[in-house]
Chain A
Amino acid sequence: MNVALKLVTLAAVSISFGTVAFSQAPASKPAAISRTPDGHPDLQGIWTSASVVPLERPAGLKGKEFFTEKEAAENEKRVLGMSSWERLGSQAPEHYNMSQYGLDLSQAKVASTLRTSLIIGPDGRIPPLTEEAKKRNAERSARNRGHQFDGPENRPLQERCLIYYSEGPPMLPAAYNSNLQIVQEPNRVAILQEMIHSARIIPTDGTPHLPPGVRQWMGDSRGHWEGDALVIDTTNFTDKTAFFGSTAGLHLTERFTRVDQDTIVYEFTAEDPATWIRPWTAQIRLVKIDGPLFEFACHEGNQGVANTLSGARAKEKAAAEAAKQISK
Chain B
Amino acid sequence: MNRKSPAPGKAGVLIACASLFVTMAPAVAHHSFAAEFDIDRPLKLRGVVTEMEWVNPHSWIHIDVKGADGKVVSWMVEGGSPNALLRLGFNKSSLPAGSEVVVAGFQARDGSNRAVGQSVAFADGRKLFLGGSAPGARGDSDK
Contact between A143 and B139, CB atoms less than 8 A apart: no
Contact between A311 and B87, CB atoms less than 8 A apart: no
Of B37, B83, B129, the contact of A100 (CB 8 Å cutoff) = B129
List of B residues within 8 angstroms of A156 by Cβ: 16-17, 19-20, 23, 27
Secondary structure of the A contact surface, majority rule: loop
- Is A117 at the interface (CB under 8 A from chain B)? no
Chain B's nearest CB lies how many Å from the CB of A328? 24
Q: Please give the number of chain B residues whose Cβ is less than 8 angstroms from any Cβ of chain A in the complex.
A: 81
A246 to B33, CA, bound (A): 26
Contact between B18 and A137, CB atoms less than 8 A apart: yes
Q: A18-B138, A89-B26, A153-B9 known; 11 other A-B pairs, CB under 8 Å?
A: A96-B79, A96-B118, A103-B84, A107-B137, A143-B11, A143-B15, A156-B19, A244-B22, A288-B142, A301-B56, A308-B35
Stretch in contact with the other chain, from A2-10, A224-232, A235-243: A235-243
Of B3, B111, B117, B129, the contact of A102 (CB 8 Å cutoff) = B129
List of A residues within 8 angstroms of B68 by Cβ: none
Contact between A102 and B85, CB atoms less than 8 A apart: yes
List of A residues within 8 angstroms of B130 by Cβ: 100
Q: How many A-B residue pairs have CB under 8 A?
A: 264
- Is A273 at the interface (CB under 8 A from chain B)? no
- Is A289 at the interface (CB under 8 A from chain B)? yes
Given A96-B79, A303-B114: A102 and B28 interface contact (C-beta under 8 Å): no
Chain A's nearest CB lies how many Å from the CB of B1? 8
Chain A residue nearest in CB terms to B34: A92
A147 to B114, CA, bound (A): 25
What is the size category of the interface that chain A forms with chain B?
Answer: 35 or more
A244 to B25, CA, bound (A): 12
Contact between B139 and A102, CB atoms less than 8 A apart: no
A315 to B38, CA, bound (A): 11
A227 to B132, CA, bound (A): 41
- Is A300 at the interface (CB under 8 A from chain B)? yes
Q: List 25 A-B contacts (CB under 8 A).
A: A89-B25, A95-B118, A96-B80, A96-B118, A97-B118, A100-B119, A102-B80, A102-B84, A102-B131, A107-B84, A108-B138, A109-B138, A137-B18, A141-B15, A143-B11, A144-B8, A150-B12, A153-B12, A156-B23, A158-B31, A196-B56, A244-B21, A290-B142, A310-B112, A313-B110
Mask of A108-146 contacts with B, CB within 8 angstroms, 1/0? 110000000000000000000000000001001101101
Contact between B60 and A303, CB atoms less than 8 A apart: yes
Mask of B111-137 contacts with A, CB within 8 angstroms, 1/0? 110101111100000011111101011
Contact between B84 and A101, CB atoms less than 8 A apart: yes
- Is A159 at the interface (CB under 8 A from chain B)? yes
List of A residues within 8 angstroms of B3 by Cβ: 150-151, 153-154
- Is B47 at the interface (CB under 8 A from chain A)? no
Contact between B31 and A102, CB atoms less than 8 A apart: no
A182 to B85, CA, bound (A): 23
List of B residues within 8 angstroms of A158 by Cβ: 20, 27, 30-31
